[in-house]
Structure 1
Amino acid sequence: MRDTTPKKSGRTAVWQSIAGSLRSDIAEGRYRPGDKLPTEAELAARFGVNRHTVRHGLAQLVDEGLVRTRRGAGAFVAATPTDYPIGQRVRFHENLIAAGRRPEKRVLHIERRSASAGEARVLAVAEGAVVCAYHGLSLADDLPIALFESVFPLERLPGLDAALAETHGVTEALARMGISDYTRASTRLMAVRATATEALHLHLREGDPLLRSTGVNIDSAGVPVEYGRTWFAGDRVTLTLDGLT
């Protein structure tokens, strides 16, 4: 933390004044969590100073945890982490609504491909069997919080890829396949670092911390229907485990 003690002369450093003004803007709701702040050039013009002085003020807010900077993207108001329970039934929209957030999913890619050895083992299909891989981005209040990839056995669920493209929701798509309910059989969590691609989608810096969740969902008969991997932005989500064995 920087020393913010006023100088003995009683005068406040200009960069401290800038930090104070922006702190007030955030407190008053002018900028909300997840919002991008004006550029350094715009702030320099607003306060009549050079960009170095603005950068010094922003660095103070970063030290305080009020602001986060992203290389090449700018400065953003730090978001309050979203509570995200992982239990026997993991439902993205329900979880976020319960946390008081507005959920959104953006489909990045839906493809048919061959199952890897690991995917085949988890889904109980032959290695090389055709699966549907569903890639997307999860957002809370317009802020990206996670990237996901869900893999489904198409021999067991023919037409699921088309259903996903039409519904953009796993629960509804599986319901079209006759699966009215599914539960989480297992979950593994691991801390990883963001790759350049992951950082781009999540508006992070390469190497920033992520939480990777790997899970298997089964139908009412205990048959695997989904193998999912999710990469959560580490500072935007608080994962809670509930009812898992």
Structure 2
Amino acid sequence: MARTPLWKSIAIALTADIAEARYATGDRLPTEAQLAAKFGVNRHTVRRALSEMADQGLVHARRGAGVFVAARPTDYPIGRRVRFHRNVAAGGQLPSKKLLSLDARAADTREAEALAIAPGDPVLVYDGLSLADNAPIALFSSSFPAARFPGLRDALSETRSVTEALARCGVADYTRQQTRITAKQANATQALHLRVAEGSPILRTIAVNVDADGVPVEYGRTWFAGDRVTLTVDGT
């Protein structure tokens, strides 16, 4: 009877560790050297095992960072109504947001143009991290016309949800006026928050949301981790 190759035995053992939650989604596996010592093999054998697991979509390597347990990519539809919690929950994952900052300042030229206000007018800027099953999938920065929504800061601080916060401020519904999608490379700050290596591929969206009368209510920029999100554009 043919013996199971060492690399395959290692792949089976590591796959079992993942299945039994010894390594969770997003966790970094031990280094090749550590795995080689653990299994009593050379690093080439470990590398073959990890390559097999990567081919199966179980792990992925990040340049300069190591090998990580792969997350199931989150399908993220972009259409007339883009709602983070709804999009993530529809894919069977648990959505959550982490507040990074919530500050009022003067609008820059791009914000003023997008929100149809004058440069220098006050805007409330909500910076945060979007997570699916506690794994970061996107970093975002949303700007709102502060004069129109005096209670928005408290609502966002309490709910973390743009949809719920705007509803509390009198905007029962809003739709996406436009979305621009551009491929980028993660800078040091983005890489830190998204838990990717600096220079890793990310997708940036720039969007404007408007109320029922077509008046802009939100100017948003979002940076999605390229290996964790599949953006789906809804033609309707």
**Superposition TM-score tier, normalisation by shorter sequence:** 0.7 to 0.9
Q: Distance in 1 between matches of 2:134 and 2:21?
A: 17
Residue 148, structure 1, aligned to residue 126, structure 2: no
- 1:62-211 pair list within 5 angstroms: 63-64=54-55, 65-70=57-62, 74-211=66-203
Q: Distance in 2 between matches of 1:121 and 1:239?
A: 26
Q: Distance in 2 between matches of 1:194 and 1:58?
A: 28
Output the TM-score relative to the length of structure 1: 0.84
Aligned-CA RMSD value: 2.5
Residue 236, structure 1, aligned to residue 233, structure 2: no
Q: Distance in 2 between matches of 1:73 and 1:201?
A: 14
For residue 173 of structure 2, what is the amino acid of its counterpart? Answer: D
Q: Distance in 2 between matches of 1:63 and 1:35?
A: 14
Structure 2 alignment gaps of length 5 or more: none
Map Cα deviations across residues 192-240 of structure 1 (whole Å, 9 max, x no partner): 1101110111110111111111110001111000001110111111111
Q: Secondary structure of the residue that 1:165 maps to in structure 2?
A: helix
For residue 141 of structure 1, what is the amino acid of its counterpart? Answer: D
Map Cα deviations across residues 120-169 of structure 1 (whole Å, 9 max, x no partner): 01100010111011000011111110000100010121231222112211
Distance 1:72 1:54, change over 3 A: farther
Identity of aligned residues (%): 60
Match of 2:39 among 41, 47, 66: 47
What number of residue pairs does the alignment pair up? 234
| Residue number in structure 2 paired with 1:34 | 26
Q: Distance in 1 between matches of 2:159 and 2:16?
A: 42
Residue 23, structure 1, aligned to residue 11, structure 2: no
Moved more, 40-49 or 82-91: 40-49
Q: Distance in 2 between matches of 1:15 and 1:96?
A: 36
Distance 1:58 1:214, change over 3 A: farther
Q: Distance in 2 between matches of 1:164 and 1:91?
A: 15
Q: Distance in 2 between matches of 1:215 and 1:43?
A: 44
CA contact (8 A) 2:10 2:46 kept: no
In the TM superposition, what is the alpha-carbon distance from 1:21 to its structure 2 partner? Answer: 2.4
Output the TM-score relative to the length of structure 2: 0.87
For residue 164 of structure 2, what is the amino acid of its counterpart? Answer: E
